[in-house]
Amino acid sequence: MSKILEVNNLEIDFHTYAGEVHAIRNVSFDLEKGETLAIVGESGSGKSVTLRTIMGLLAKNGEVVNGEVLFNGEDILKKSNKELNDMRGNDISMIFQDPMTSLDPTMPIGKQVAEVLRIHNSVSKKSAMEEAARVLELVGIKDARNRLKDYPHQFSGGQRQRIVIAIAIINNPQILIADEPTTALDVTIQAQIIDLLKELQTKIDTSIIFITHDLGVVAGIADRVAVMYAGKIVEFGTVDEIFYNAQHPYTWGLLESMPTLETNTKRLHAIPGTPPSLLDPPVGDAFAPRNAYAMQIDTEQEPPFFQVSPTHKAATWLLHPDAPKVELPPEIARRREIWKKMNPETKKPQTTEKGAD
Amino acid sequence: MAEQKKEVLVSVKDLQQFFNLGKKDEVRAIQDITFDIYRGETLGLVGESGSGKTTTGRAIIRLYKPTSGEIMFNGKDIAKLKNGSKEMQEFRRETQMIFQDPYASLNPRMKVKDIIAEGIDIHHLAKNDKDRDEQVANLLELVGLNPDHATRYPHEFSGGQRQRIGIARALAVQPQFIIADEPISALDVSIQAQVVNLLKEIQEKRNLTYLFIAHDLSMVKYISDRIAVMHNGRLVELSTASEVYNHPLHPYTKSLLSAIPIPDPEVERKRRPQPYDSSMEEDGQKRTMVEITPEHFVYAAAGEVEGYKAAAAAYNA
């Protein structure tokens, strides 16, 4: 397993009329070759900003205050515009949320797909079109050869997202960044697109960073999961660790507020309140005001990461050895039971030495 | 919800809504829609985009003039009412809508109290200014907002709070029936649950009837008493929420259910999507809603009924 991307201590501020918005507050994570990392969080939690920074697409009023983004050992943040242009769409490419607006309505789709290839490689127009047709077939556009001259409006939403994916993968990128690629689509189409991404991943051997707020989608696609809240990663682990052995109360809240098809309770669990303003981030744990398990220390001091297993860490004081034992919400307790069945040898979740699967 | 006699509040019969009728680009948005909504229940309407669920909602609330069919509300045929008539105005008060996009559905240049009270003014429901302010304050409190915020503008609120303002506006004219068109799709996960809980709470307090339109099937199952599934402008299945989820009969419903992502990695690893081939609908056979088991309707041709009955029996075996 080799690390293809490493983000270290990233801090980003935005200069706005209202003041400095501390959008990203000390974020670190890494991406391994061939894996899918899901970043979960609500709007404003900083997931999109993080990914735009990796692409070198930070808005003009954004400033990287601290940190580095190492792609194959080189810091992306130090690259010139030209180097970034060489990288984007070639080594790292992005699938955007809205397939209705991310294609050029005035350009035939064949040309749009071939364009990316022609920019980064010296290939003839004809062979670029050939390749475009092949990739379009690969992503499931039927009879692509005869549709190269068609315009985006002649395709349905799901087909358009397939075209966007074709553009993103035509250069066999090492990293594919997908920013809520299925949010604008219907469930049935969503399922198809996710299956397509999984299939492509094995075919072209790329790493995927997948942003979403839909935990159902995460469960289906991710190898590892980062949960973000108020500009920070609050929990990080393998998909099983996050879904069955979550430690951070915010992750609990997210898991509880999703009705599963079995949910029969009278009321849905809702996380009270709203996320804090990052103009003036709160002292201590940013989630404390919405957290039923908050302790005195949460309002005074920011929790560090506590290592739960070699692959799992969470930033909550509840993991401190001196923390009181809390009663888990029923849904989380149910998930812990599944976790125990999966890992019969581990009794206490806080053991530091636990093999990951 | 038990076996007691249920009172029908809304009864839709053979509703058709065509656009550009008779022209080259005629669109048959919905056809042969027939269903009842009982007083006090929540009927969930699901289907993919373009299936006609929003058109159905808008036709019922008479934002469109239906091409044909009957919409009985409290025993009156709404489809035949004239715009501007007294009865129409009364219907407009009794039926309200909550919209999908909390950013686009509130006038940014109006204060919250004027947004909420607009219906109160139109229907002359306030005795004087003091009464109007009081009503607004009560409504804000009901939806969980601070009554002191009545003089603020929409941009000062978050998405979830705006949706609460939209709910308060709908409730201001004391309606009996509310059509909620994807009211939570534009909200963050942690906020969705808050708004759904609020809708349920208000329903109990005011004995409201909901038509809840959505594509998020797990949320629909949670909030609905009964669920109607739409596809290609037609209703394909209608039954209680648990029947539709646990004993789906129509192949489209099965396909839709198999596509729902479940927040459980183990379940996801085992998931097998079932594709749906819509060509089976275009074989020219006449189909109607047939009651396969009590209260469980499926859009079926005469020749298919036995097959569905057998499938339903197999579930119970």
Task: Indicate which CATH number applies to the domain containing B157.
Answer: 3.40.50.300
Span A281-314, pLDDT tens digits: 888 899 998 998 999 999 899 999 999 999 999 9
CB contact under 8 A, B262 and A216: yes
Report the pLDDT averaged over residues A128-153.
92
CA distance B133 to chain A (A): 26
- In whole angstroms, what separates CA B250 from the centre of its chain? 21
Tell me if B105 is assigned to some domain.
yes
> Average pLDDT over chain A, rounded to whole?
89
Span A202-252, pLDDT tens digits: 888 899 999 988 888 999 999 999 999 999 999 999 999 999 999 999 999
Tokens of B294: 């009590």
Spatial contact of B186 and A257, defined as CB atoms under 8 Å apart = no
CA distance B131 to chain A (A): 30
CB nearest B264 (choices: A187, A190, A243): A243
CB contact under 8 A, B218 and A261: yes
Tokens of A259: 């009705």
Q: Is A29 helix (H, G, I), strand (E, B) or coil?
A: strand
CA distance A256 to A259: 7
CB contact under 8 A, B263 and A190: no
Q: Nearest chain A residue to B188 by CA: give it.
A: A42
Mutate to test the interface with B, among A199, A268, A337 (most CBs of B within 10 A): A268
Among the residues of B207-300, which ranges form H helices?
A: 217-223, 241-246, 251-258, 265-270
Tell me if B180 is assigned to some domain.
yes
Confidence of residue A346 (pLDDT cuts 50, 70, 90): low
Closest CA to A164 of A134, A185, A139: A139
CA distance A168 to A159: 14
- Across B48-196, the runs of DSSP E, i.e. the strands, are 68-73, 76-77, 95-98, 177-181
The CATH fold assigned to A1-91+173-357 is Rossmann fold (3.40.50)
Confidence of residue A68 (pLDDT cuts 50, 70, 90): very high
CA distance A178 to A184: 13
Report the pLDDT averaged over residues A38-53.
89
- Environment class of residue B46 by beta-carbon count within 10 Å: exposed (0-12), middle (13-18) or buried (19+)? buried
Tell me if B207 is assigned to some domain.
yes
Angle formed at CA A283 by CA A282 and CA A287, multiple of 5 degrees: 60
CB contact under 8 A, B222 and A239: no
Mutate to test the interface with B, among A183, A274, A340 (most CBs of B within 10 A): A274
Q: Which chain A residues touch B255 with a CB distance below 8 Å?
A: 188
Which residues of chain B are modeled with pLDDT < 50? 1-3
Spatial contact of A29 and A37, defined as CB atoms under 8 Å apart = yes
A265 φψ region: left (φ > 0), alpha (ψ -120 to 50), beta (else):
beta
- Of A72-76, A276-280, B212-216, B266-270, the range with the highest mean pLDDT is A72-76
Q: Which residues of B touch A (CB under 8 A)?
A: 48-49, 158-161, 188-194, 196-197, 200, 215, 217-219, 221-222, 245, 255-256, 258-268, 271, 273, 276
Q: Which chain A residues touch B263 with a CB distance below 8 Å?
A: 215-216, 218-219, 243, 255, 258, 260
Number of Cβ pairs < 8 A linking chain A and chain B: 113
Tokens of B252: 């489209």
| ipTM score for this prediction | 0.78
Give backbone dihedrals phi and psi of B160, rounded to 5 degrees, phi first. -65, -40
Task: Name residues whose C-beta falls within 8 Å of residue B131's C-beta, 6 or more positions apart in sequence.
Answer: none
Q: Residue B33: which domain range?
A: 8-316
Domain residue spans of chain A: 1-91+173-357, 101-172
C-alpha Rg value of chain A to the nearest Å = 22
CB nearest A270 (choices: B197, B245, B271): B197
What percentage of chain B's residues is helix, strand, coil (to nearest 5)? 40, 25, 35
Tell me if B3 is assigned to some domain.
no
Count of domains observed in chain B: 1
Confidence of residue A348 (pLDDT cuts 50, 70, 90): low
Tell me if B1 is assigned to some domain.
no
pLDDT exceeds 50 at position A356: no
Q: Nearest chain A residue to B48 by CA: give it.
A: A186
